């Protein structure tokens, strides 16, 4: 069996910055909505995603 790796959450990791502005705007909007309490139950999300 493979040996599990230990994670160092203090060490920074290089991240690819290839997200376009529309994606970043959508993420920001989602964070704002969540902070404002505008959420929906997980069951409703599953139903919406299983089109």
pLDDT value at residue 6? 84
pLDDT value at residue 51? 63
Placement of tokens 């069996």 in the chain: 1
What Cα–Cα distance (Å) separates residue 22 from each residue in 27, 28, 50, 51?
9, 10, 24, 23
Q: How far apart are CA 32 and CA 38, in angstroms?
A: 9
**pTM of the entire predicted model:** 0.50
Q: Which token pair is 47?
A: 């139903």
Whether the Cβ atoms of residue 39 and residue 33 lie closer than 8 Å to each other: yes
Q: What is the pLDDT of residues 1-51, one digit of tens each?
A: 788 888 888 887 777 677 788 988 999 999 999 999 999 999 999 999 986
Segment 27-31 long-range contacts (CB within 8 Å, at least 24 positions apart)? none
């Amino acid at each position: 069996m493979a040996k599990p790796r230990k994670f160092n959450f203090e060490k920074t990791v290089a991240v690819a910055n290839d997200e376009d502005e529309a994606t970043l705007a959508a993420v920001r909007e989602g964070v704002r909505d969540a902070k404002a309490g505008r959420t929906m139950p997980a069951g409703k999300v599953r139903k919406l995603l299983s089109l």
